[in-house]
A and B are shown apart, each in its own frame.
Chain A
Amino acid sequence: MVQFTQVQQYPESVLAERAGYFPVPGAHLYTVLHAVEAPLARVLLIGSFASERHTSYRPWLQWGRYLAARRIEVLRFDYRGVGESTGVFKEIGFHSWMDDVERLSAWLRKREGDAPLILHGLEMGGILAAKAFHDGEADALVLWSAPVSANKVLRSTLQRWIGPQQLLKQEEDRRPPSHYFRLLEEGQSVEVDGYEWTPQLWSESLSFELPDTMVPPNDPAVSYRRPVRIVQLGKSAAPLVLGGLLNGFEESKDFSWLFAPNYEWIASSLHIPLGAA
């Protein structure tokens, strides 16, 4: 029988990972600091929406480790009411998650040792990152598959959720996505992937959008005079982003084709030397 065997040697950057709870009003955020001595830069990773957390988790963490191994300090976290963070999901919305981002970016900026701060948002986290960057929170911005609005995230999440649910129900109990959209608009809650979506969350999502300056044909790098990189990930990036096909063996998938050029962009944009892994 093949058994998991002991890791011969843990990389220093992995041993330096520090998990903790960061206090915010009414909750504690689960954070993992990929601590680095004399960092060349710092990155706050702002992840995807609650339902996509478990699928994107491993490649997102690998990206954090990839950067930390190259002397870029990383802080990743779970939103209030999601994952390892405390708080009640149904009592929380986009403005609270925006507050999470602002508090953590302020904390990261105050860390000892002067280093530029990069906000990196994935999917819904892209909207939060862009808004914080718009408000002057950081020196550079990276967006991976950021939607134009939070409502688009909720719609696509619900549409993806509904298909498999239909298979579990008798034909007479099956409802199209529009049925659930209507319930939310009429003030009822809907449970999706184990999370209770409230009418307030839905209503908030309608006006929670990327800043106009980030939306084509505008060029955010010109508007902000700070480095901005916007990448739309395709099917090959699954399971980091949904919508792509799962081809099996997701745990061992190699993302260096995505990590390397993004790291090189960070290094060149902020004029930091390319570090060795």
Chain B
Amino acid sequence: MILDKLETRQLITLGADGILVRGTYHDVQRNTTESTRAAKKIGVLFLNPLSTPRTLIGDSAVYWASSFAAQGYPSLRIDMPGLGDSYGEVAKDLVTFINNGGFAAVVASKVKEFSERFGLAGVVIYGHCAGATTAVYAASTCKECKGLIITNPYFNAANMLTPKLSPGMVDWARRTTVGEVLRAAYARIREARKKRGNGNLPGNANVHLIAHWKQLVSSGLPILIFKSGEPAALGSSKLRAGAFDYLEHITSLAGHKSRLSLRMIEGTNHSFADRLGRAAIREHAEVWLHKHFPDEAITLARDSIFCELSR
């Protein structure tokens, strides 16, 4: 009586590498034309950020995965090991673990398995917030990754952001909206006061992550970034003006090969789970997917990019 699959959804476990990861696969709709179905497709892999299960806040990832699948891009939402339905030990300081790329290898392995299991031409990794950090690390080490969609990425090293606060407080600040406002305000004050190191980067930058970013952007990997508006509580004061623009910094390093697109969505919240945020992501991401990965035009160009990265 209990089924493991529905018409367009299937509950799966990826475990070829010995690490069991639970997920939900959204197959393409039946009304997709036969000629389209025959072509190898690009899949979308959704990563869960921190402790939020693979549905994401307000079940927004279910909405996006269903929508992308309906557009011809089979999608898989997974829980990282130790989170959601996936079993495993969790690092005590999960934020720092993720900021240091702790899930990168397992995600790269799952991208490969996802691609092989469903006969895909490649995979676009979708990551939100801490999931975006993992997506960046993983993308730079896996040839099956053909693109990135990331929402509200951050570039600070949490442990360097507030060294006088307890790690637990830093963790709290990373996962709550009130914390987001405090964090943003505090980061700006520190950035304004701190002498910049590492070239032009603020002293609290996650240099390792930014190096991976630079590598990806300059390789020509298609990347779509969504940013929600800043909390209005920050006002339009000097705090906003004093913020270091990491995205601009990355874009400036990209070079002529860059295929980075940035969309700012005003009026939504950090999770994009409200009606406005959901619709905006769906609309822009689908246009972006069709532009970069039209069904008939999937090539192995990414392989050459990967070779370049590996050199």
Contacts of B119 in A (CB 8 A): none
Query: Taking A4-B19, A84-B24, A194-B58 as contacts, is the C-beta distance between A249 and B92 under 8 angstroms?
Result: yes
Query: Taking A20-B4, A21-B4, A86-B6 as contacts, is the C-beta distance between A54 and B229 under 8 angstroms?
Result: no
Q: How far is the CB of A173 from chain B (nearest CB, A)?
A: 8
When the two chains form their complex, are residues A248 and B59 in contact, meaning their CB atoms are under 8 A apart? no
Residue of B nearest to A54 (CB): B52
Query: Taking A1-B102, A86-B6, A251-B83 as contacts, is the C-beta distance between A167 and B91 under 8 angstroms?
Result: no
Complex alpha-carbon distance, A171 and B169, angstroms: 28
Contact with A along B243-259 (1 / 0, CB 8 A): 00000000000000000
Q: How far is the CB of B117 from chain A (nearest CB, A)?
A: 17
Query: Taking A61-B85, A83-B59 as contacts, is the C-beta distance between A170 and B90 under 8 angstroms?
Result: no
- Within residues 1 to 45 of chain A, which ones have a CB less than 8 A from any CB in chain B? 1-4, 6-7, 10-11, 14, 17-23, 28, 30-33
When the two chains form their complex, are residues B177 and A54 in contact, meaning their CB atoms are under 8 A apart? no
When the two chains form their complex, are residues B6 and A4 in contact, meaning their CB atoms are under 8 A apart? no
Interface locus among B33-41, B271-279, B290-298: B271-279
Complex alpha-carbon distance, A182 and B276, angstroms: 23
Contacts of B60 in A (CB 8 A): 194
A250 within 8 A of B: yes
Residue of B nearest to A29 (CB): B2
CB within 8 A of A249: which of B22, B83, B171?
Answer: B171
When the two chains form their complex, are residues B106 and A4 in contact, meaning their CB atoms are under 8 A apart? yes
- Within residues 2 to 48 of chain B, which ones have a CB less than 8 A from any CB in chain A? 2-6, 9, 11, 17-20, 22, 24
A169 within 8 A of B: yes
Q: Which of B19, B55, B56, B80 has the most CB of A within 10 A?
A: B55
B149 within 8 A of A: no
How many chain B residues touch A (Cβ–Cβ < 8 Å)?
A: 70
Complex alpha-carbon distance, A32 and B2, angstroms: 10
CB within 8 A of A168: which of B59, B83, B232?
Answer: B232
Contacts of B9 in A (CB 8 A): 21, 86
A-side interface mostly: mixed
CB within 8 A of A28: which of B6, B57, B80, B269?
Answer: B6
Contacts of A4 in B (CB 8 A): 19, 80-82, 88, 102-103, 105-106
- Within residues 54 to 90 of chain B, which ones have a CB less than 8 A from any CB in chain A? 55-60, 62, 80-85, 87-90
Query: Taking A191-B274, A249-B171 as contacts, is the C-beta distance between A169 and B232 under 8 angstroms?
Result: yes
Q: How far is the CB of A192 from chain B (nearest CB, A)?
A: 9
Contacts of A61 in B (CB 8 A): 84-85
Residue of A nearest to B84 (CB): A57
When the two chains form their complex, are residues A248 and B167 in contact, meaning their CB atoms are under 8 A apart? yes
B97 within 8 A of A: yes
How many chain A residues touch B (Cβ–Cβ < 8 Å)?
A: 56
Contacts of B186 in A (CB 8 A): none
A193 within 8 A of B: yes
Complex alpha-carbon distance, A7 and B273, angstroms: 33
Residue of A nearest to B62 (CB): A84
A247 within 8 A of B: yes
Contacts of A166 in B (CB 8 A): 233
B53 within 8 A of A: yes
CB within 8 A of A54: which of B1, B24, B57, B181?
Answer: B57
Query: Taking A19-B22, A28-B3, A251-B50 as contacts, is the C-beta distance between A167 and B172 under 8 angstroms?
Result: no
- Within residues 160 to 194 of chain A, which ones have a CB less than 8 A from any CB in chain B? 163-171, 191, 193-194
Contacts of A19 in B (CB 8 A): 4, 11, 22, 85
When the two chains form their complex, are residues A248 and B11 in contact, meaning their CB atoms are under 8 A apart? no
B175 within 8 A of A: yes
Contacts of A28 in B (CB 8 A): 3, 6
Contact with A along B223-244 (1 / 0, CB 8 A): 0000001011100000000000
Give 5 closest A-B pairs by Cβ, nearest first.
Answer: A194-B58, A248-B168, A164-B177, A194-B273, A248-B171
> Can you list 12 residue pairs at the A/B interface with Cβ under 8 Å?
A3-B105, A4-B105, A4-B106, A7-B89, A19-B4, A20-B2, A21-B6, A32-B85, A89-B59, A168-B177, A194-B274, A251-B90
Question: Apart from A28-B6, A251-B82, what are 16 other A-B pairs with CB-CB below 8 Å?
Answer: A1-B208, A2-B100, A7-B18, A7-B81, A19-B4, A20-B4, A30-B11, A57-B53, A61-B85, A83-B59, A163-B178, A168-B229, A246-B176, A250-B171, A251-B83, A251-B90
Q: Which residues of B contact A (CB under 8 A)?
A: 1-6, 9, 11, 17-20, 22, 24, 50-53, 55-60, 62, 80-85, 87-94, 97, 100-106, 166-172, 175-178, 181, 208, 229, 231-233, 269, 271, 273-275, 278
